[in-house]
């Protein structure tokens, strides 16, 4: 969608109209897709905090904070994929280098970071499941510099995910080739996905 399509569909009063509703989002919500700002969203006048939050979640916006001269998400944009399962497409160069990856979670101690481009994954899971990292999800999320809502692909569809993440990496990072350097081993023991 383009900015005008979203803006035309949403009531956009001034930020001062209802500041207490959006105090946690610095008075404004941003919808970013890649490097393109699609819209700045303000809650409707008189909206309750629950309505404002639902509006943000509907359009894939999360809490914003200043970072490196601009505004970026402080937590990934997760999409619900059934049960307690949440998924996000993330860019975390300190962990994976210059490529996007698949981050899924069922809670702080149950998450998987899948690098479909190189075919490696890092999992944190409670026993009796296999776990490759002892880090809580918050430490992985702290390294996410940007995120976007994912397509609704099954995690087992490695080829679909690899193709999608390659194309999105090239488009979002505006690069011509993707480096296939191994992921950072400081975060755990990466293992092959297939």
83 pLDDT band, cuts 50/70/90, is: confident
- The per-residue pLDDT of the chain, averaged, comes to 73
Q: Is 116 helix (H, G, I), strand (E, B) or coil?
A: coil
CB 39 within 8 Å of CB 31: yes
Dihedral sign for Cα atoms in the order 153, 35, 179, 141: negative
CA proximity to 9, closest of 35, 32, 41: 41
Determine the pLDDT at residue 30. 46
Averaged pLDDT for residues 135-148: 93
Residue 90 belongs to what H/E stretch?
A: strand 86-91
Structure token pair of residue 132: 């490759």
Cα–Cα dist 116/119, whole Å: 5
Tell whether omega for the bond before 128 is within 30 degrees of 0, i.e. cis. yes
Determine the pLDDT at residue 181. 93
Cα–Cα dist 192/180, whole Å: 14
Number of neighbours of residue 152 by Cβ within 10 angstroms = 10
Q: Is 110 helix (H, G, I), strand (E, B) or coil?
A: strand
Query: pLDDT higher for 24 or 107?
Result: 107
């Amino acid at each position: 969608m383009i900015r005008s399509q979203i803006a035309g569909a949403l009531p956009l009063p001034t930020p001062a109209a209802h500041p207490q509703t959006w105090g946690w989002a610095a008075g404004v919500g941003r919808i970013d897709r890649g490097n393109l700002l699609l819209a700045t969203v303000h809650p409707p006048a008189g909206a309750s905090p629950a309505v404002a939050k639902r509006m943000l979640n509907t359009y894939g916006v999360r809490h914003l904070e200043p970072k490196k001269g601009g505004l970026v998400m402080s937590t990934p944009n997760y999409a619900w994929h059934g049960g307690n399962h949440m998924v996000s497409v993330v860019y975390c160069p300190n962990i994976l280098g210059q490529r996007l990856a698949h981050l899924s979670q069922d809670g702080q101690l149950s998450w998987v970071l899948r690098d479909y481009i190189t075919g490696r994954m890092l999992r944190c899971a409670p026993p009796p499941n296999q776990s490759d990292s002892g880090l809580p999800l918050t430490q992985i999320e702290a390294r996410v510099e940007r995120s976007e809502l994912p397509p609704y692909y099954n995690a087992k569809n490695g080829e679909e995910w690899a193709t999608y993440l390659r194309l999105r990496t090239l488009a979002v990072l505006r690069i011509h080739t993707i480096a296939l350097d191994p992921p950072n081993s400081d975060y755990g023991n990466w293992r092959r996905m297939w």
